[in-house]
Amino acid sequence: MRYKGKIIQEWDGTLTGKVLITKSKISFLGDIDQNTARIVGSDLDIKGKSVSGKILIFLEGRGSTVGSNALFGLSKKGLAPKLLAVCKAEPVTISGAIFGNIPMISGLDEGVFDYLKTGDKARSYIQGGEAYLEKEE
């Protein structure tokens, strides 16, 4: 099964990596330690996990506009996710992805939360102007 999304920040080739997934909203300012890229938000089911180099799948962003700067900062430190994949895109996450040159897709069907689990290996690619995300078998 593959999930189709809208390209927010494009990339070349196929991205592959380990999945970090949550049905929660994420604040890049308060929920992620900016020095370690670990989730510190106490209400998140992925607390303690690192977003660095992961295919990060989440419902949508939350919080202050400073979150885009926090996401950009993770990128500058080499700690950013490999891919941001969301169901609902909002301006803070979009601008952070663009400024930080972090690949991003949006508009994923929420069925992705039942299909992929944290630790799964997945891939994402662009084909015909659409982005696709699927489990790597």
| Catalytic sites, residue numbers | 64
- The closest of 15, 22, 55 to 41, measured between CA atoms, is 22
CB burial string 62-97: b at 16+ within 10 A, e below: bbeeebbbbbbbbbeeebbbbbbbbbebeebbbbbb
